[in-house]
Amino acid sequence: MEAARTTWTDSRLDDLKGAIAVIDEKVTGLDKKVDDGFARLDARIDEGLGRLDGRIDETNNRIDEGLARLDGRIDETNNRIDGTNSRIDQMNHTVLQGMVALISIITLLLSILIGIIATKLFL
């Protein structure tokens, strides 16, 4: 190619080479601008993702704290329900004992009444 160039007398090849050099410089400059733009964009994206990660962690912590409070309140409510159930069981037992005593008294009074009626009829 160099041998052909040395014998080439037309200056258009030199003009073309100069135009290509100018275009190459412009493309190199544009490529650098694009690379710089992407670097800035990547930095902003990384910064934004870092902020989002922080906010997500804060939200997760708040959720965990809320769930812990809710678990405590549920445990307290369950304890109160268990206490209420114990009192109801005690009351049921007391009512049952009262009913048994009442039935016993009624049975005793009926047997006394039958005894009195039987005594009056047969005497």
Residue 118 DSSP code: H
Q: Residue 110: which domain range?
A: 2-122
Nearest to 97 by CA among 113, 111, 82, 105: 105
Q: Which two tokens stand for residue 89?
A: 């069981």
pTM of the model: 0.51
Q: How far apart are CA 108 and CA 100, in angstroms?
A: 12
pLDDT of the residue at 7:
66
Q: How far apart are CA 110 and CA 116, in angstroms?
A: 10
Low-confidence ranges of the chain (pLDDT < 50): none
Q: What is the tally of structural domains in the chain?
A: 1
